[in-house]
Amino acid sequence: MTARKWLLAAAFMLCPVALALAQEEPPGPDEKPPEKKAGSLRLRPDDDPAAAQFIARLSLGRPQMSGVAAQPLLRHTLSPDGKYVYYFRDLNAPAPRREAAPPAGPAHTARYVLFRAAAGGSEEKIIETGIDAIAPLFLPQERIAVVARTLDLNGDGAIDTNDERSLIVCGADGALAREAATLRPGESPLAAWREGKEILLADYSRDDINGWIVTLPLARGQRTPLTRGFNVSMVLEDGRLLVERFVAPPPPPEQPVNPWAWRMGEEEEDVQEADPPPVASLLDRTVHVLFNPVDGSESVLYNPAQRSRLNVWGEGSFFGYQQTTRNLGSQRFPAMMGRFSRSVESFEYVVVDSATQYDTRAPRANNNYFPLGWINGAGLLLIEVSNLKTRLLLMDRSSNLNLLPITELGFDTHGYCASQDGKTVAWLSVEDTNEDGYLEPWRDNCRIWFLQLTAGQ
């Protein structure tokens, strides 16, 4: 009986603790959940019958797979006409292994080759680019511009980052390749400009984190700085550029150089830095600026508090995605344990009508939304990614910005891209070849898929 009494007493003592763990703490008077501000978008019609008719007439065929064998791919992109997916393969890379860790040994020297593949077709070799794998730029008249580094120009017996890179212009099938210019260290091609006659480059700057946006005419090769920035998100039809800039403090007086210059290599051998400064990356917050090259004027279009990217333009509005952090709530624990809260990061889609009219939306809080392209007369094509599936959606142009479902894709799909008219979608289906728990197209085997969005009568 003594043991039974002890068990009963212990049960009574543990009951309050269990109830405290299971009961969610009610919010206090000063802990009201933050209310989302009302949308400040421009006026839109109450409904969009054209988008509903597009979905009703949509004739979806089965997704078509290319005839390329399953293999790791890198930097894939869809051509503007939607016919081909261009991608890189490292011919010297070892095959994916079903092991926890790769065998020890010297790292291999990359040998990247640009290929392309169509729906139902085999791959075609375009051009070998050496140790560089930068997505090609599409030019008019079925031409592309790629970066290549295939020659040991400094004579040290190896093809590495010490050798110069060349900007190669060739046909979309790799024919008639010629060297258009020699790129300087720190330069990266961003976009084609002025009907493909000039290439916009991002150039490193010693005294500014953002560097310069430089224009390079393919005929003359004479560079001209345009404005500060590290990326050109879009080239608009009227010639204006949507430029991204890092939001970072100026360099301190005692170090009047780019605070992230050390990532480009030590510039002064005598300088010893105990703690290197932070590294600028795409994880940092950026401001989006509209730059007019005609008169050099610029205006801030969107300056969010979180990192964001604008990648689609249609009917006077800009669309993109923006990071958000949500608190999943807190629970009450015994006083000695304190409180426990969880947060999750996801991506909303953002609509920017002007510098004063913008809003973010996320119909499902735990899902991620990524705009793909604009379909004229219908609306915005975007992807909704959850843990179990992926949905292809169409956002109409009504005041509610309704999301109309098009089709569902698997959870193993990655790397979605759309053609210029938004009516062809391509993606990769990835398998966990090395069984490390992650789906990574550049390490695991993957296949290329196409889907045509055609409207019937």
Residue 380's contacts (CB-CB under 8 Å, 6 or more residues apart) are: 312, 314, 319, 371, 373, 374, 394, 395
Beta-carbon contacts of 50 under 8 Å, excluding residues fewer than 6 positions away, are: 377, 378, 397
Query: Do the beta carbons of residue 318 and residue 308 sit within 8 Å?
Result: no
Nearest to 200 by CA among 165, 219, 225: 225
- Whether 248 and 188 have beta carbons less than 8 Å apart is answered as no
**Total length of the chain:** 457
Mean per-residue pLDDT of the chain: 81
Q: What is the pLDDT of residue 97?
A: 67
- Coil, strand or helix at 271: coil
Confidence of residue 4 (pLDDT cuts 50, 70, 90): low
Q: Hey, what amino acid is at 91?
A: L
Distances (CA, A) of 196 to 135, 191, 236, 261, 287: 16, 9, 13, 32, 27
Query: Which long-range contacts does 406-410 make (Cβ < 8 Å, 24+ apart)?
Result: 406/55, 406/58, 406/60, 406/453, 407/60, 407/451
Fold that domain 39-99+108-153+164-252+281-455 belongs to in CATH: Methylamine Dehydrogenase; Chain H (2.130.10)
CB 316 within 8 A of CB 295: no
Reported confidence tier of residue 365, pLDDT bands at 50, 70, 90: confident
Q: What mean pLDDT comes out for the span 81-94?
A: 92
Q: In angstroms, rounded to a whole number, what is the distance separating the alpha carbons of residues 287 and 305?
A: 9
What is the pLDDT at residue 295? 92
Q: Which residue would you say has higher pLDDT here, 381 or 160? A: 381
∠ CA 64-375-399 to the nearest 5 degrees? 130
Q: Which residues contact 269 (CB under 8 A, 6 or more apart)?
A: none
Whole-Å CA distances, 281 to 205, 263, 272:
15, 11, 23
Mean pLDDT of 13-21: 48
Amino acid in the structure at residue 14: L
Over residues 318-362, the pLDDT tens digits come to 999 999 876 655 444 454 455 555 566 789 999 999 999 999 998
pLDDT at position 411 is 84
Domain ranges of the chain: 39-99+108-153+164-252+281-455
Mean pLDDT of 168-197: 92
pLDDT for 305: 85
* pLDDT value, residue 94: 81
For residue 31, the model assigns a pLDDT of 43
Tell me the pLDDT tens digit for each residue of 220-243: 878 999 999 999 999 999 999 999
